[in-house]
Chains A and B, each alone.
Chain A
Amino acid sequence: MPPALSVTALRKDYGRTPALGGVDLEVEAGELVGLLGPNGAGKSTLVKIACGLVRASGGRAEVCGAPAGSRDARRALGYLAELFRFPGWARAEEVLFLHQRLAGSDGGAAERTALLEQVDLLHARERRVEAMSKGMQQRLGIAQALVGDPRLLLLDEPTSALDPVGRRMVRELLERLRERGVAVLLNSHLLSEVELVCDRVAILADGQVVAAGRPGDLVHAGGVEVETAGGVRRFAQATREQVPELVAALVRDGERIYGVRLLTSTLEEAYLDAVGERQEGAA
Chain B
Amino acid sequence: MSGAVIVAGYALRESVRRRVFVVVLLLTLLFLGLFAFATAKVFERSGSFTTGRNIGTLDTTGLVAATMLGLGMFAILFLATVLAVFLTLGAVRGDAERGLLQPLVVRPLGRTSLLLGRFAAAAAVCVAYVLAVYAATTLIVHQASGRWPDTVAGPGLALAAGSVVIVALALLGSVFLSATANGIVIFMLFGAGLVAGLMQSIADAIGSPSLGQIAHVVAIALPFEALYQAGLHALTADQSGFTGALIQLGPFGSSHAGGPLLELWTAAYVGLAGVVSAWGFARRDL
Q: Footprint of B on A, CB under 8 Å?
A: 14, 48, 51-55, 71, 74-75, 77, 79, 81, 83-87, 89-90, 98-99, 101-104, 141, 144
Distance A86 CA – B101 CA, assembled complex (angstroms): 9
- Which residue of chain B lies nearest to A95 when distances are taken between CB atoms in the complex? B103
Q: Footprint of A on B, CB under 8 Å?
A: 3, 6, 10, 14, 17-18, 98-100, 102-110, 283, 285-286
Residues of B within 8 A of A14 (CB): 285
- Which residue of chain B lies nearest to A81 when distances are taken between CB atoms in the complex? B102
Distance A7 CA – B106 CA, assembled complex (angstroms): 18
Residues of B within 8 A of A54 (CB): 285-286
Please give the distance in Å from B66's CB to the nearest CB on chain A: 43
In contact, B102 and A53 (Cβ under 8 angstroms): yes
Chain A to chain B: the 10 pairs with minimum beta-carbon distance, closest first: A102-B107, A89-B17, A85-B99, A53-B286, A54-B285, A84-B99, A51-B106, A75-B108, A79-B106, A74-B108
In contact, B98 and A52 (Cβ under 8 angstroms): no
In contact, B99 and A83 (Cβ under 8 angstroms): yes
Residues of A within 8 A of B103 (CB): 79, 81, 84, 86, 99, 141, 144
Question: Could you name 6 residue pairs across A and B whose Cβ atoms are closer than 8 Å?
Answer: A53-B285, A74-B107, A81-B102, A86-B100, A89-B18, A141-B103
Residues of B within 8 A of A101 (CB): 6
Residues of A within 8 A of B102 (CB): 53, 79, 81, 84
Residues of A within 8 A of B99 (CB): 81, 83-85
Knowing A98-B6, A102-B3, the reply to whether A55 touches B283 (Cβ < 8 A) is yes
Residues of B within 8 A of A84 (CB): 99-100, 102-103
In contact, B14 and A85 (Cβ under 8 angstroms): no
Residues of A within 8 A of B10 (CB): 98
Knowing A81-B99, A85-B99, A87-B100, the reply to whether A99 touches B285 (Cβ < 8 A) is no
Distance A84 CA – B100 CA, assembled complex (angstroms): 6
Distance A132 CA – B6 CA, assembled complex (angstroms): 25
- Which residue of chain A lies nearest to B98 when distances are taken between CB atoms in the complex? A85
In contact, A74 and B98 (Cβ under 8 angstroms): no
In contact, A48 and B108 (Cβ under 8 angstroms): no
Residues of A within 8 A of B286 (CB): 48, 53-54
Residues of A within 8 A of B108 (CB): 71, 74-75, 102-104
Please give the distance in Å from B81's CB to the nearest CB on chain A: 24
Please give the distance in Å from A152's CB to the nearest CB on chain B: 11
Distance A86 CA – B99 CA, assembled complex (angstroms): 8
**A-B Cβ contacts below 8 A, count:** 60
Residues of A within 8 A of B18 (CB): 89
- Which residue of chain A lies nearest to B109 when distances are taken between CB atoms in the complex? A102
Please give the distance in Å from B281's CB to the nearest CB on chain A: 12
Distance A99 CA – B100 CA, assembled complex (angstroms): 13
Distance A81 CA – B105 CA, assembled complex (angstroms): 11
In contact, B106 and A77 (Cβ under 8 angstroms): yes
Distance A154 CA – B279 CA, assembled complex (angstroms): 27
In contact, B106 and A52 (Cβ under 8 angstroms): yes
In contact, B100 and A102 (Cβ under 8 angstroms): no
With A84-B99, A85-B98, A102-B108 known, 13 other A-B pairs at CB within 8 A are: A52-B105, A53-B102, A54-B286, A55-B285, A71-B110, A75-B108, A79-B102, A85-B99, A90-B17, A102-B107, A102-B109, A103-B108, A141-B103
Residues of A within 8 A of B106 (CB): 51-53, 74, 77, 79
Please give the distance in Å from B2's CB to the nearest CB on chain A: 9
Residues of B within 8 A of A89 (CB): 14, 17-18
Residues of A within 8 A of B283 (CB): 55
Distance A109 CA – B17 CA, assembled complex (angstroms): 22
- Which residue of chain A lies nearest to B102 when distances are taken between CB atoms in the complex? A81
Distance A87 CA – B251 CA, assembled complex (angstroms): 43
Residues of B within 8 A of A55 (CB): 283, 285
Distance A273 CA – B184 CA, assembled complex (angstroms): 51
Residues of A within 8 A of B17 (CB): 89-90
Distance A283 CA – B110 CA, assembled complex (angstroms): 43
Residues of B within 8 A of A141 (CB): 103
Residues of A within 8 A of B285 (CB): 14, 48, 53-55
Residues of A within 8 A of B107 (CB): 74, 99, 102-103
Residues of A within 8 A of B3 (CB): 102
- Which residue of chain B lies nearest to A77 when distances are taken between CB atoms in the complex? B106
Distance A146 CA – B283 CA, assembled complex (angstroms): 27
Which of B98, B99, B102, B109 lies at the interface centre, i.e. has the most chain A CB atoms within 10 A of its CB?
B102
Residues of B within 8 A of A53 (CB): 102, 105-106, 285-286
In contact, A102 and B104 (Cβ under 8 angstroms): yes
Distance A99 CA – B108 CA, assembled complex (angstroms): 10
Distance A50 CA – B119 CA, assembled complex (angstroms): 28
Distance A83 CA – B98 CA, assembled complex (angstroms): 8
Please give the distance in Å from B113's CB to the nearest CB on chain A: 10
Residues of A within 8 A of B105 (CB): 52-53
Distance A14 CA – B106 CA, assembled complex (angstroms): 21
- Which residue of chain A lies nearest to B97 when distances are taken between CB atoms in the complex? A83
Distance A79 CA – B18 CA, assembled complex (angstroms): 27
Distance A86 CA – B102 CA, assembled complex (angstroms): 10
- Which residue of chain B lies nearest to A101 when distances are taken between CB atoms in the complex? B6
Please give the distance in Å from A93's CB to the nearest CB on chain B: 13
Please give the distance in Å from B110's CB to the nearest CB on chain A: 7
Distance A141 CA – B100 CA, assembled complex (angstroms): 12
